[in-house]
Structure 1
Amino acid sequence: MTSISLSDRIPTRPAVATLVALSYQQDKAAGVVPVEWLSPEALSYLDAHLTAVGASGAADEIIKVTGVPGTQALVLVVGSGLSAVPGDDDAESVRRAAGSAARALAGTSHAALLFPSATPALLAATTEGALFGAYSFTTYKSKDAKAPVGRLTVVTADAKGAAARKVLARAIAVADQVSWARDLVNTPPLDLYPASFAAEARKHFTGSKVAVRVADEKSLERQQCGGLIGVGRGSARPPRLVTLTYKPARAKAHIALIGKGITFDSGGLCLKPADGMLTMKSDMAGAAAVAAATGAIAALGLPIAVTTYLCLAENMTGADAQRPSDVVTMPNGKTVEIINTDAEGRLVMADGLAIGSSVKPDLMLDVATLTGAAMVALGGRTTAVIGNTDQIVDQVIGAAKATGEDMWPMPLLQELRPSLDSQIADVKHTGERWGGAITAALFLQEFVGEVGGTQIPWAHLDIAGPSFNDKAPYGYTPAGGTGHGVRTVVALAESLAD
């Protein structure tokens, strides 16, 4: 992983080969954001060069400039897309620009970022974006690929201050876990299946503050996990339920996290078309996100207890595959009529929610690549957030805004609930087509328990769109697994700790 540090001056021993400046859009042209480490002569030269080449300052724009007064280094100017010098409200644009720069710096040994960093929010945006953008996944490349930038120095006047060091430590802790989540999502399903995912979680958390417990298929049968057992019936590789536990002293709150971990989704007997399977190794991105968020919360030492459930199964078409019209029994005793075997994610999540309710957390979050309907509604970059209280939805949306992850609230419309009624079981697992993201959430709500006669506060994050980028990289978002959701869950835990 790229190393990163802070300095109150541009490193000279050894001298950096590349400096990175930020541009914005001014008077239909691009201008460089002034910082104290760029002299007036350097700024004037850079602005003139940007005008000469027709630079716009748009997001993801990269301009390379040589011969800048006062430095021997190449200067890389990255566009922010902003129309003015950035402030705290523009942190996400700065974060994305830092990510774009880090991607452009692949193959570089050492670069210094000369971004605005007068506030903790702007410094955090620069450090986080740079680390997120420096990610690469080359495990399966037979030839050496261009390595990410080896070392980054963020130049800031407060480099030696406690606040700046805290910002840097947080950025590194979160980026480490986001990278792990991306690695999990990018791993081919031949190698990542329920048992190997469980083994990877155990390995990852060895020596940490997170305890790992793995339930195999026999244990799942004893716990009446009809969702995991049913979905896993068609695969030669049986399901697992992984429980992660972080218990700090004097915890201020207890949250339960549930992640969908379908390591490959063929659709089961309701088989997907061939091109519909191409990205289905990513159907475990929810489990990757909550596992990584748990790791970050523990690494940061937050006073928030976390119990996390990774609901792992492979949805295949074997001889004993689950059939439409089967009925399964869940851990809370409810029976479910199976309608469409390609709506398997909500079944394994139902097991996790029912078991998670038994520990009586203060709130529950589930994260899942659950429905195409969420993508139809919101596109490929935005998560749908649905909850049983306005307060918890607002908390999640607030945490997402603070971190720069795109999320949007959707209603939990009770008028759609009758479409889940079954003639032979307590509930069907799919409802009418219209409002499909909402009917999926209504099904999940059936398995959220109560404490003192009141349903546990619960929010559902449908990350079907932003969890996997099958297009070109942008900002700090790579092609492939994105790690989406990790930062929002961590920020929510931080808000509960305040």
Structure 2
Amino acid sequence: MPPTITATDRPLEKVPGDAVVVGVGRGPAGLLPTPGAEAVDRLLGGRLLPALADLGARGGEDEVTRVATLGQAPFPVVAAVGLGAPGTEGHYSPEAIRRAAGAASRALTGRGSVVTLLAAVGGAPDAERLHAVGEGALLGAYEFTAYRSDLPADRPTPPGEYTVVVPDAGEAKAPLARIRAVAAAISLARDLVNTPPNDLFPAELAARGAAAGKRAGLSVEILDEAALAAGGYGGILAVGGGSTRGPRLLRLTYKGKKARKKVALVGKGITFDSGGLSIKPAANMHHMTSDMAGAAAVIAAVCLVAELGLPVEVTATVPIAENLPSGTAYRPADVLTFRNGKRVEITNTDAEGRVVLADALVRAAEDSPDLLLETSTLTGAQLVALGSRTAGVMGTDELRDAVVAASRRSGEPMWAMPMPPELRRGIDSPIADFVNANADRMGGMLVGAHFLAEFVPSGLPWAHIDIAGPSYNTGSPWGYTPKGGTGVPVRTLLATIEDAITD
């Protein structure tokens, strides 16, 4: 069962819990207490802050220091979580609070109920800080254990109940409902990414996406191989042709009441990417179970928009295929014809994401949306340029910048990237309209965006979000980010859509 979250305005000494979470910052002279830490310190007779100092707490990000209350309070443990150094005027960002809440959730495994005072960081709690606390707590408690057969029934589990202390619990009702919806959507995306490819082949991803859509009240359409052939989806069929498990195209549509905008979402759904005949090195190929993270994100995002009942029309178009080498696989030197009639010479079958996305972009644009948002684990060049935590955003300038601004508020770091016109020449072909991959590896993330731009109609605002690194954490957990699927960029997609309908 997912953890629950509620709010209370009762005095701290009357709020039961197995642990209380407070925040502490890092200052030049030592710990910087926050109102929550000071409140607990007073309750404990002034002994909390000296105890934290004695235990070596420094207030750094992701640092959690636990102190036993020894019967001096109605809760047995205080968890002081680091916020890092404060910004201007002593403020901590919502993302610092979100990370702290997540780190506390991970550190308090085995504690059933947790009371958190992190919403008081920076003064009286507001909706933004409440969202940060709630999202961080619930996302930090995420775990994926579907394939573990050795888990004892009495094993320590993440906290199952969170109580946020606020001045007015009644005003927290709406923010908490949104927090629950956002956490559920991100958990859906994480679960899909973490499911191994032998169980999440193209038809199964389409079925799971359709089931999620139906639960959210969406209209659902799935195109199989015959329908894809009839519809002229040459790119999706080519990439999926090497597998015995055929490709699909999933479409999920939400039509909100009094819709103000029509938004198209497109997400890459390669359920496993071996590279095809241009096969990848064996090292780290197992990470390609995450090559459908873009698909997972847009499925979760459109379901989240429906759950929140936003006044917008959103359609997610999800091309799904498995890229494997076989006697029926597409080849370097093949020329493919896409749904819009354009022809592409294949120079690298491992540049397959853009090939399936091309057909999906064409289909999405046929709905005449006001804007188009596409996300994909498109290039290793994104990791080279921006690292594992920052996505690259390309497209039309205004929408690209709007996406980056939304990402900053959402806590999903992104960076605006250019599309230099000279790089477009790198995909010229002597025999077709263009090639799918440039032999020159320089600017690979930007070249990928140029390829996608060929399938977006002129005048349509669009943005491409390359999440090759941020969507899948191959290292240790940090903040509210687990190992494996992260759920990026669900929150940014939601924020961008909300911004669009309020313009």
TM-score range, shorter chain: over 0.9
Q: Which residue in 1 is equivalent to 2:6?
A: 5
Q: Which residue in 2 is equivalent to 1:130?
A: 137
What secondary structure is seen at the aligned counterpart in 1 of 2:22? strand
- Counterpart Cα distance in 2 of 1:362 and 1:304: 11
* TM-score normalised by L of structure 1: 0.95
Listed as ranges, the gaps of 5+ residues in structure 2 are none
Q: Which residue in 2 is equivalent to 1:392?
A: 399
Q: Is the 8 A contact 2:236 2:359 kept in 1?
A: yes
- Counterpart Cα distance in 2 of 1:105 and 1:52: 21
- Counterpart Cα distance in 2 of 1:366 and 1:207: 23
**1:7-44 superposed Cα distances (whole Å, 9 cap, x missing partner):** 11267788311111111113332233123753535383
What secondary structure is seen at the aligned counterpart in 2 of 1:157? coil
- Counterpart Cα distance in 2 of 1:410 and 1:330: 27
What secondary structure is seen at the aligned counterpart in 1 of 2:47? helix
Q: Is the 8 A contact 1:236 1:318 kept in 2?
A: no
List aligned pairs for 1:438-457, cutoff 5 A.
438-450=446-458, 455-457=459-461
Pair 1:5–1:269, CA change in 2 (3 A)? same
- Counterpart Cα distance in 2 of 1:250 and 1:7: 35
- Counterpart Cα distance in 2 of 1:252 and 1:72: 49
The one of 283, 292, 315 equivalent to 1:307 is 315
Q: What is the CA RMSD across the aligned residues, in angstroms?
A: 1.7
What secondary structure is seen at the aligned counterpart in 1 of 2:415? strand
- Counterpart Cα distance in 2 of 1:284 and 1:358: 23
Pair 1:151–1:86, CA change in 2 (3 A)? farther
Structure 1 residue 221 displacement after superposition: 0.7
Q: Which residue in 2 is equivalent to 1:486?
A: 490
**1:216-273 superposed Cα distances (whole Å, 9 cap, x missing partner):** 0111111111111000011010000000100112211011010000000000001111
Q: Which residue in 2 is equivalent to 1:264?
A: 272
Q: Which residue in 1 is equivalent to 2:443?
A: 435
Q: Is the 8 A contact 1:16 1:111 kept in 2?
A: yes
List aligned pairs for 1:32-47, cutoff 5 A.
32-35=33-36, 37-38=39-40, 40=42, 42=44, 44-47=46-49
- Counterpart Cα distance in 2 of 1:84 and 1:231: 48
> What amino acid is the match of 2:132?
A
**1:293-346 superposed Cα distances (whole Å, 9 cap, x missing partner):** 111111001111101111100000121111000011001110010000011000
List aligned pairs for 1:400-415, cutoff 5 A.
400-415=407-422
> What amino acid is the match of 1:16?
G
Structure 1 residue 107 displacement after superposition: 2.1
**1:158-187 superposed Cα distances (whole Å, 9 cap, x missing partner):** 2112xx211111111011000000000000
Deviates more, 1:200-209 or 1:323-332: 200-209
Q: Is the 8 A contact 2:119 2:129 kept in 1?
A: yes
Deviates more, 1:88-97 or 1:188-197: 88-97
1:79 aligns with 2:95: no
Q: Is the 8 A contact 1:329 1:335 kept in 2?
A: yes
What secondary structure is seen at the aligned counterpart in 1 of 2:292? helix
> What amino acid is the match of 1:270?
S
Structure 1 residue 71 displacement after superposition: 3.8
List aligned pairs for 1:357-368, cutoff 5 A.
357-368=365-376
> What amino acid is the match of 2:245?
R
What secondary structure is seen at the aligned counterpart in 1 of 2:372? strand
- Counterpart Cα distance in 2 of 1:408 and 1:14: 42
Q: Which residue in 2 is equivalent to 1:475?
A: 479
**1:374-400 superposed Cα distances (whole Å, 9 cap, x missing partner):** 110000100000012x21011101110
- Counterpart Cα distance in 2 of 1:153 and 1:379: 35
**1:110-154 superposed Cα distances (whole Å, 9 cap, x missing partner):** 110011342111111101111111100000000225322111111
Q: Is the 8 A contact 1:304 1:496 kept in 2?
A: no
Q: Which residue in 2 is equivalent to 1:296?
A: 304
- Counterpart Cα distance in 1 of 2:394 and 2:387: 16
What secondary structure is seen at the aligned counterpart in 1 of 2:291? helix
Structure 1 residue 201 displacement after superposition: 1.2
> What amino acid is the match of 1:417?
R
List aligned pairs for 1:40-119, cutoff 5 A.
40=42, 42=44, 44-67=46-69, 69-83=72-86, 90-117=93-120, 118-119=125-126
> What amino acid is the match of 1:55?
A
- Counterpart Cα distance in 2 of 1:397 and 1:96: 20
Q: Is the 8 A contact 1:28 1:56 kept in 2?
A: no
Q: Is the 8 A contact 1:10 1:37 kept in 2?
A: no
1:159 aligns with 2:160: no
> What amino acid is the match of 1:464?
A
Q: Is the 8 A contact 2:83 2:100 kept in 1?
A: yes
What secondary structure is seen at the aligned counterpart in 2 of 1:321? coil
- Counterpart Cα distance in 1 of 2:271 and 2:233: 18
Report % sequence identity: 46
Listed as ranges, the gaps of 5+ residues in structure 1 are none
Pair 1:356–1:218, CA change in 2 (3 A)? same
- Counterpart Cα distance in 1 of 2:409 and 2:285: 34
The one of 141, 152, 170 equivalent to 2:178 is 170
> What amino acid is the match of 1:479?
K
